[in-house]
Each structure stands twice: as structure tokens, then as C-alpha cells.
Chain A
Amino acid sequence: MGFLDSLLGKTKLPEAKTDKLFAISTAAVTLEASLGYRPDGAAAVCIKPMESSRYEAARREIEELLGMSIKETGTEYKLQKDEYNYLWVVLSDPDLDDLVNAVQMVSQILTEQGLGIQILAAVYRFRGEAVIYWIYNFKQGAYYPFVPQSGRQRDTAREFRLKALLQKEMPLEKDESRWYPMWGMPL
């Protein structure tokens, strides 16, 4: 947001950047080869619901298309509101590429309806010596690691190790103050 925008009190939210979304597929190879983390068959997209019939239409279209793609790829899905009233499209499929495609489809439908700014994040779960999550920030078009522990603690050491290993493989959020945790994710 430029200086003139803030001078005039214009609130501009960044559009969803989906171009780097697919980087998770190549990163997954390195992740398994060097640290033994495997895709855990689960991903999700977090959406900020909106008071608009256009949003409702987009939500129905997402459900329709996901319903159709079940038959092709076997990707299962459910829609779920969390405790803060955000909508989660929770996807499960053993194949990571199918998950990435489904996430891409959801974000594309919302963007086409002009609701790109409502997409908060996409999350992929991996499992190895611990359960780790890769969160894709649509505003920045970058990934960051999230390793939650019990009692709203996060394993920061492990997150930094993941960063060190993968920063050449995928676009990572460089500003660690934007590694926002997401507690109570439905996956």
C-alpha cells in the first residue's frame, strides 16, 4: 500500500498470489530425502467468510467442483467453520499433487469471483519425527513452517532448521515476524 493510499485512507488488501503455490511439490522431495518428513495426506485452505451472495455462490461452486473431482482423483473434502468463524476447506488425499491441485482450484474459484483477498492461507501437513505444517501465505506468495506443540507453544528451533534446509528449494517468508501461528487448525 503506497503512501498516497494511506494519505487518502484507502484500504487495499493484497491480492492472492497463487503462482508459488506449487513449490511445495518439489520441496516435498527434499524434505523426505534429507529429513524424513513425508506428506501426511492432508491439506486445507482457510477463507475469511464474507457477507455477500457472491461469496455464497463461490462457496457452492467450490463444493460442486470438489464433489466432481472426488470421482477423478479421490480427493475427499469437508467444509468446516473454526472457532473464529473462518471457513476451512479440509482436503484429504494420499497423493500430494492432488492436494496441491485441489488447493489451487479453490483459490482460483475465489479469485475469479473477485474474492481473492478473502483467502487467508493454505496449509499442508507433513509427518516425520514430528508433525509439521507448511503454511502458504497468499498475501506474500510465500511459505513458512509451523510446528505446534501442546499449550500454544511452537518448536521454533525445528522451524528454523526447516527454513535453513528449504530456503533454496521454495519461496519462504523471509520476515519471521510474519510466521503467524494458526492454533486449532481442523487438520
Chain B
Amino acid sequence: MIRCLVVDDDSEIRQGLQAFLERFAMQVSVAADGRQMRQLLGASAFDVVVLDIMLPDASGLDLCRWIAQQHATPVIMLTAQGDPGSRIVGLEMGADDYLGKPFEPRELVARINAVLRRAGKVGAPRGAAPQPSRQLRFEGWAFDRLLRQLISPQQVVVALSGAEFRLLSAFVERPGRVLSRDQLIELTRAPGVEVNDRSVDLAVSRLRQKLGDSPREPRLIRTLRGEGYLFDVKVST
């Protein structure tokens, strides 16, 4: 049972979300403002917080930072402003995901599941796992995970598709480890997208192309016949 806390100042949205999420076997509590949220978080443990960014008594960003520091519970931020700037700020403040209002209710369920999958076992606290940093470096390349782009050693911005981004994210979190296709399919799954052997292979070849990695003798993403792929670099923050 996923324990979910919904924080929104609009009563109908709170109730609507509660009713909807309960259909997906979640145990949902609601809070109307920052004060209630702190009380509820202090009283019992939650697996995920769905937090509106605009609350009457506190800024969602401050609350987000507070949760990240005090409870380490994953946070999905909701916002009606849909400002790309606030998305970046929100993610930097420690939110795990970000959804603009109005959203597809099923999309929220998918995001909750994805966040919990990333955070580890459902029901277990996230522990001391550090917040993944925004920018990672390898072999002279910089990988900006918020803007979803690569910056080459020559300072050229190279855009990534969604599939390439998910694949590279999986690689940089596990450098020097052999990942089978099945593992990569599992790690790069996304709502509304079909991921299979072929799409993983395609994303690998596209990513090699963008990283200037030769397909014959790839140096960065190596193919291990019958085993899978290996991201053979040292990643630093």
C-alpha cells in the first residue's frame, strides 16, 4: 500500500485526487496548507508527497526543501503556472518530479510509481541517498539533467530525445557496470511509451552518434556480445 500525502489549498482538487488515487490502492491523506502538511508528516510516515507549489501560508519551494531536509520523502510538485523556470527551480529545491495543472490523473499515478521505483523499495524510506546533482561530467562532456542536454568538450549544446535522456540517465548512474537489454528496458520505461529491444538499440546508436562514439569501435558505450551494454567512463559531478 502506497501512503500518499496530497497538499493543495483547493478542497475539491484535494478530494478529487484522494478519491482517484484510492482507486489505485493508495492510502491518501490530505492537507490544505503548509502547517497541516508539517503536522501530518510529523505524525506518520509517507511514501510520497504530492505538493502544490502555491499554498496560502507557505511557498511550495520552501516546503519542498524542508521535506527534503527533514523527512527525505519523495515529492511530486504540482503547479498551475507551468513556468519552465519554476520547474528547474523546483527540481533543484529537491522535488523528484514536476507536473503542470491540469494534468491527466493517470499521468500522476505513473509519476508516483516512477518516483517510488527510483527511490528504491516501496515503503522504505529513501535513506541517505544524496539528491542526484543537476550536472554530471564524463570525458569532457557535461550532462545537464534538468535541461536534458549534453554539452560537448567544445561547448556545443547537443539536444537529447526523451529515449536518449532516459538511457543516458541509466548509464551515468551505473558507470562501469554491464547492463543487459532487459535491465535497460526496465530502467528507461516511461509512461505512454513502448520500450523494447529495438528501441533500446536505436537509442544506443543515436546516443553514440551524438557523443561522437564510433559505432565500429565504441569507446564510451561498449557492446558486450550476449551481455548488454557497458558505459565505460568515469562520471563526476
A binds B: no
Residue numbers of B with Cβ under 8 A of A are none
